[in-house]
Amino acid sequence: MDMENFIHTVISTCDYIKAKKRSKKTINLSFDEWNVWFHSNDQDKKIEPWSIAPPQLEDVYTFEDALLVGSMLNTIIRHSDRIKIAAMAQLVNVIAPIMTENGGRVWKQTIFYPYYYTSVYGRGVALNPVINSPKYDSTDFTDVPYLDSSVVYNEEKEEVVIFATNRHMESTLQVDIDARSFQGYEVAEHVVLQHDNPKATNTLGNEQVKPHNKGESYMENGKVVGILPKLSWNMIRLTKGNE
């Protein structure tokens, strides 16, 4: 929510200057070096001074961090009409979705999965979803929708992909998606990232948080009905069937 408000503020500022200068130029944005980062500051204080290539900022991400990254990606996609570049801070080891060790072993952090699926399937034209969702209040924000989502249409592959986060900590969320504009499309896949423990982590040899493709969703009368488990990140992929 904070990221969304920040983007709105910057876009509004750019458009105000455009109007003030009576310019024809629309300023697009680069959202540089985004990610979750709050774990490793104390750990790095223990590094021996003058060490050669010590491990630094090697955050261990939780499942709730993965949900946040999924929603951050949704936010970027929804504003891709103005955000043309959005680089994740680092990809390997340093506050990163991919971890390695000396000698060659590698493992995926919890935040890897929303980033991976969005990178692979979030290609095409970002659609503007009109979302009607129940809401809640948090310490810092009011009227927070339980459903956070983005939608991408890949015309070349005849594919529509819905990315959706259920923020509710206790209840599943049924989503009804109007897909009448995509006649002949069927649900091809529903990937779910979920875990009962929001603090669950992936470490070397113990990846507790992994996606599965057993999500509940189906097409009915031009509408996609999807069941989003509590505290889950979801990808529902529609493809055009044989006519």
List the chain domain ranges. 2-240
pLDDT of residue 98: 92
Instruction: With CA atoms as reference, report the closest residue to 226 among 183, 189, 182, 196.
Output: 189
Looking at residue 243, what is its pLDDT?
Answer: 42
HSE of 72 in the Cβ direction (CA atoms, 13 Å)? 21
- pLDDT in the model for residue 46: 74
Residue labelled with tokens 């209040």: 137
Cα distance between the two ends of the chain: 41
2-240 folds as Immunoglobulin-like (2.60.40)
What the block records as the tokens of 90 is 């680092």
pLDDT digits (tens, 9 = 90+) for 96-105: 899 998 888 9
Closest listed residue to residue 64, CA positions, set 100, 114, 99, 108 = 114
Cβ atoms of 71 and 79 within 8 Å: the answer is no
Can you give the pLDDT at residue 52? Answer: 79
What pTM did the predictor assign? 0.91
The per-residue pLDDT for 116 is 96
Residue-level pLDDT at 43:
67
- The ranges of the chain with pLDDT < 70 are 39-44, 242-243
Q: What three-state secondary structure class fits 117? A: helix
Q: Exposed (0-12), middle (13-18) or buried (19+): which is 1, by Cβ within 10 Å?
A: middle
Number of C-beta neighbours around residue 138 at 10 A: 10
3-state secondary structure 22-91: CCCCCCCEECCCECCCCCCHHHHCCCCCCCCCCCCCCCCCEHHHHHHHHHHHHHHHHCCCCEEECCECCC
Q: Identify which of 113, 234, 114 has the alpha carbon closest to the alpha carbon of residue 175.
A: 234
